[in-house]
Amino acid sequence: AQSVTQLDSQVPVFEEAPVELRCNYSSSVSVYLFWYVQYPNQGLQLLLKYLSGSTLVESINGFEAEFNKSQTSFHLRKPSVHISDTAEYFCAVSQGAQKLVFGQGTRLTINP
Amino acid sequence: DVKVTQSSRYLVKRTGEKVFLECVQDMDHENMFWYRQDPGLGLRLIYFSYDVKMKEKGDIPEGYSVSREKKERFSLILESASTNQTSMYLCASSLWASSYGYTFGSGTRLTVV
């Protein structure tokens, strides 16, 4: 069975600093990869996804993630964070045809 | 705007009560899911349904059951609520393939006292 590890449970950074949230998954078979964001007191929203093609995928609010097959990783990055990026971020990987497996989440805290 | 709607945002129930959590989606999605979210544990799948009247156990089905009588509605039932079922419950739906990703509801925070 597929498993997902988010290596950091909490990441504090200063505003306008770069950030990387790390995600590793267990299986090297063909997978789909996702990052979801959860703002306080809300459900999860899709941030970006990798299905195939270019290994670098981008979101509309400046985040990007790179699929690395050899390292089975899908790390999320942003070159300059804003206070509004404060949220919990979940990495997910497909398991079979219909299900996703989620990581434990990384809480991103932005300090002014 | 497509939506997954969970009927209650906050719920407080007593130990031993039968609890119903309702979820409705308006996207004609085949798949629907129930997760619970606990700090440090991420999202854990309770049950999922890939068609009307069809269901499959997830990773933590004990103490829960589900019902899907119509395509748009997926109910989670706590047969006899216990304090260790205090949690955030998230409903999600998706088209038939995992490549589409999920659409989540806003969650129901259940407290069992």
DSSP annotation string for chain A: ---EEES-SEEEEETT--EEE-EEES--SS--EEEEEE-TTS--EEEEEE-SS-SEEE-TTS-EEEEETTTTEEEEEESS--GGG-EEEEEEEEETTTEEEE---EEEEEE-
- Partners of residue A95 in chain B, C-beta under 8 Å: 98
Instruction: Say what the pLDDT of residue A12 is.
Output: 96
List, as one string, the DSSP characters of chain B. Answer: ---EEES-SEEEE-TT--EEEEEEESS--SEEEEEEEETTTEEEEEEEEEETTEEEE-S--TTEEEEEEETTEEEEEESS--GGG-EEEEEEEE-SSGGG--EE---EEEEE-
- Based on the number of CB atoms within 10 Å of its own CB, is A97 exposed (0-12), middle (13-18) or buried (19 or more)? exposed
Indicate whether A30 pLDDT > 80: no
Instruction: Say what the pLDDT of residue B96 is.
Output: 83
Question: Which residue in the set A9, A32, A41 is minimally distant from B99, CB to CB?
Answer: A32
Instruction: Say what the pLDDT of residue B67 is.
Output: 96
* Tokens 């299905």, located at residue: A51
Low pLDDT (below 50) residues in chain B: none
Instruction: Say what the pLDDT of residue A28 is.
Output: 65
pLDDT for A31-88, tens place per residue? 899 999 999 888 999 999 999 888 899 998 899 999 998 899 999 999 999 999 999 9
Mutate to test the interface with B, among A57, A99, A101, A104 (most CBs of B within 10 A): A99
- Partners of residue B48 in chain A, C-beta under 8 Å: 98-99
Question: Which residue in the set B40, B48, B106 is minimally distant from A104, CB to CB?
Answer: B40
Instruction: Say what the pLDDT of residue B99 is.
Output: 82
Instruction: Say what the pLDDT of residue A60 is.
Output: 83
A98/B50 Cβ within 8 A = yes
